[in-house]
Structure 1
Amino acid sequence: MYKILIAEDSKPILRNIKELLLTSGLPVQVVHTASNGADALEGVLSREVDILITDIRMPKLDGLAMIEEAKKAKPGLKVILISGYNDFEYTRKAINLQVTDYLLKPVERPALVEVMERVIVQLGEEHRKEFAVLDGILDPSFSQELTLPPGYFRNKKLVLVLHRQFFRGAVSGFLPGPVQELLNLSFAPHSFRVFAANKPNQLLVLTDPSFIDGSVSPMERLEQIGALLEDEGLPASIAGQFIPAAANEIAGCCHSLSGLLGSRISIAKTCLLDAAHPAGQGIEASEDVERIGARFTDKIQKLQKEPFLRQLEEQLLKWGRTNVRVAQLQRFTALLANAFAAHQQDRNGKNDWAAYMAEVQPLFECPSYGEFCSGLLALLEGWFTETQSLNKKGGYELFSLIDAYLKANLYSQVSMNELSAAFHVSPSYISRVVKKYSNSTLMQYYLDLKIAEARKVMQSNPAIKIKELSDALCFYDQHYFSKVFKEYAGCNPSEYKTMLKGG
């Protein structure tokens, strides 16, 4: 809703304009009316005003002089002048004051609506450009549906970043809507806007500088918000920037606060951080993760499975007691993933570090640290088994068995889980073995075998119908079969049959 101030010394004209605006159906609200230039200027300076509609000639303070002063204070203010025909040349001079548009007396509904619609379009475009300051820091799917009141970024904001606490159970309400409603209700009359950040489990919170006054310190505010979220079952670590930030500074503040949280948040206790005084929190003494990781990567290189798993369990228990920082835990798991990937690379020339990390990342969403530890131990035990198997057999024996199994089941549908159960290895291990020896994914390799079989059938039985062949090979959709056939054979089934007839 755009806010309008009307300045007109003629009461009938003023009432007419106000009535026309109220019944126009436009997204506008008249927040103040003034009968002289001085009162109008005071109204602009003391209120949120998007559009000023003013007569060009006003008592106490001339209309153009008043506009000049108002523009100095609020450069983005849109101004619509009201003038008579005799003042037309005078009105043209107002262009130098960046007057947006003008209306001639008597003001009639069609002309007023036309002018207002043009001004509203301009304000909307400027609002979208203003909102672009949040590009790159919000979740794209969230920002597409975001709406903010006009002029929201006109005043500076306090910036907070909330990070949902790790290993504290499944939290479903840690979303912009519920958190914004909770903050607005609990800290009224202060107003909050909450946004989904582009980093998982993070929210960006903006509020006005009045949230911090002489009666309460920034850290006390952080403690109040933290306790509120904890009581609602939404435990979160919080970092705040309590020096008011202009619109173009918000993205930088968000990145800085997010990085601060990322380096300090621990596995058990929430942390509260004031960017101006980022005192150390979490564990008292930071352990050398690189040194600890080196001990474990050495055992991976030497394939010492049992000592590795025993010592890893002990290390995880120790970190649970000392409240290790999540960043250290993430760095440690990355070192282990890199060690397994490097071992594979030594054998096949390909580094699958990203694939290993993709299996680790979901563990950080576990509802408890205990479940994280169990999951990590099970995962790494599986990696060790696979690595030892590759080291002993090179994986080729398993690939040969998989190949034979797929060829024996061309007229059915084999899934990854079925292969995993048949050969007692993990799906990820099967993927890596097939990739290594076929240079393609399992699905690509299986489809290639099916299309090769289809070509053999058409060679031996050219009269077979394409749909019959598609159904027999479990494609179930003739169009999909034709698409896959063309991708692998270079032509569609009908063209292939024609080629066979032509020799």
Structure 2
Amino acid sequence: MFKVLIADDERRVVKMLKASIPWEKLDMELVEPAYNGIDALDITQKNNVDIVITDIRMPGMSGLDLCMELQNLNPNIQIIIISGFADFAYAQKAIQYRVLGYCLKPINYTEVINFLKIAANNLKKDIPINYDSLLESIENEDNELTYTLIEKMQLDPKIIYVASSVGCNNIIDKIDASLALKIGNRKYIYLSSNPIDKQAAYKIVTSKKSKTGIGIYPYAVDASELKSTISDTVIMSYHFFLTGKSDICERIIKSSATKKLFTRLNRALTLNNKEELKNILEEMMQIDCSTIFNISTAFKFYNFVYSSNLLGQIIDKEDRYLYSCEQLVTEYSSFSNMLNEMYSQLTQKNGTDYSMIKSCNSNFMSIIKYINANYEKDISLKSIADTLHMNPNYISQLFKKETGITYTQYLTDLRINKAKHLLQTTDLSINEVSEAVGFNDYFYFLKTFKKIVGITPGKFIN
């Protein structure tokens, strides 16, 4: 948000300006007001104010003198002057200090809002060109800023072709794209004003031994559509999870059969019908699910099944859930493996009931030590259990008893706290910080950071 200072010795004017302008909608926040010129200069310096709305006549320092000092302090600062009719000629002198404009009293608030919008546009032009800014503007659907940055990156914001790759290094040159945005480990978004080279993309996936996926959006989009387009394209690039081999995808896989299957699944879970869930899994294991599922619906299917207790799991529900498609791929590698694992858990006899476990300090300390040493890796409850030769149910229950929170909460809080430290003490980009603390999806990191900290990483830095 841009910081705005209102400076006027009339408290009534300050109060009316505060109440009459939709500051949040303008992506602006007010700092404490000033009632004289000296305080206005001091508050501006202390708060890194971007925009100043000032009266022309104030005690201590006139508005005109304040304009001069503010320009010396920050040449990019945006200044809007308000004045009485008698001060109009005086206010015109402020033009030499590059004021944005002046408004006569009584104040026309529509006029003030228009000046504020111009000020915001001027400030956005000075935003440095970097990929973090572009990704954050896309995530926040700040179309105005996205347009500005796209144009600065020599792309046409009205005609943008989008592609995505997972499981390989940057392929921007091979597919003839203009811009590559890294959004995770070996995970990229590509933007271009020209169509993506599909032949080159096919050669890449057929030549890779490890599983690689490329998604190509079927047509060009406007910059205002980038958030949903990127989301769809990333889903396409994960189609290899469904096929079990490196793949290229040019459309979102959707099917009426999937909707019917979810209706049937929901009924089985609601009725706690273990036999029907078994039938569903058996049928799915016999068909080619890549024709009716995509990574998003596979992810939904996973969380649907694990929201029930039919698999004999007593793990805390929050620990059972996965929170990104990336976790699903890391955990199971393919949809077929996921179904086999579910079927195995469903048909095996119930083992030990860990819900009444007693605290074991040595075991708990081993778990905490392992998490703290490996939080930046793709660790899950299952991988920790395998490494420490423990049962996932046991770890989940022990964690809740010892800490009062779930394993998932602990790991997420740990990663976000580490991210805050890196953002404050290093020159790493937000994307690099995201990877460094164990998030392999840039957009998921942005959402999680904002949910826990209250602001985006970009605003946290500033």
State which structure, 1 or 2, has the greater radius of gyration over its C-alpha atoms. Answer: 1
Alignment TM class, shorter chain as reference = 0.3 to 0.5
Please, what TM-score do these two structures have when normalized by structure 1? 0.39
Please, what TM-score do these two structures have when normalized by structure 2? 0.41
